[in-house]
Structure 1
Amino acid sequence: MEMSLPVLIISMLLFFVLFFGIGFLLNMLLRMSWIMAIIYPIIAILIVDKVRLIEYFTNSKAAFSQLGQRFTSLALADILILSSGLLGAIGAGIVIKILRKSGYRMF
């Protein structure tokens, strides 16, 4: 299914803002600057893959091969949207680092 350009841009912006906000809050509460950037690949796998989590432990070979097939079959729009979420998570870590260096203490 094709995605129009305005829908793609809005989706990318929403993913960026969503993961920036979640990452910023987690960084403030847990005092770990890169926590969301570390957690984001797991979230991306859960978004893309249709395999249950337990199958990664019980039937690893089939689960990981299906995961690889799902990632290689992603459309360009999906890759751009997921990448903007990762950029939001990384951006939250950078902003928190800059704010802490500037003297702001969050919680």
Structure 2
Amino acid sequence: MHIIQAVIGAVLYMTIFFSIGFILNMLLKKTWTLVFIYPIFVIMMIDNVKLSSYVTETSTALTSVYEGLVGLQLLDLFMLGFGLLGAILAGVTIRFLRKSGYSMF
């Protein structure tokens, strides 16, 4: 992966997760919803294990997650980190808007 692709990907991840987090925070009225859900998104992106396998075949599924996390390259971590940053910024933005008196619904 070239550095240009990583920069564009990082900006896209940040924008996407900021947008999703902002909308979830508005609708659910919970400030940090996506920050807690984000690791589940990351796990779903890096391994190809069914969600039911975490209950039925726990050790195999967790081994797959570990191998996926260890196999990530620096640029992958860079992009995923910017996704987390977008989710955090959505929470900060919603908190600021609520303190300023803005009511969503």
TM-score band w.r.t. shorter chain: over 0.9
Q: What is the number of equivalent residue pairs in this alignment?
A: 105
Q: Distance in 2 between matches of 1:61 and 1:68?
A: 10
1:39 is matched by which residue type in structure 2?
A: I
1:59 paired to 2:76: no
1:35 paired to 2:38: no
Map residues 1-107 of structure 1 onto 2, 5 A cutoff: 3-107=1-105
TM-score, scaled to structure 2: 0.97
SS in structure 1 opposite 2:41? helix
- Percent of aligned pairs with the same amino acid: 44
- Structure 1 unaligned segments of length 5 or more: list them: none
Measured on the aligned residues, the alpha-carbon RMSD in Å equals: 0.7
**Could you report, residue by residue, the CA deviation over 1:75-107 in whole angstroms, capped at 9, with x for unpaired residues?**
111111111101100110011001100111111
SS in structure 1 opposite 2:13? helix
TM-score, scaled to structure 1: 0.95
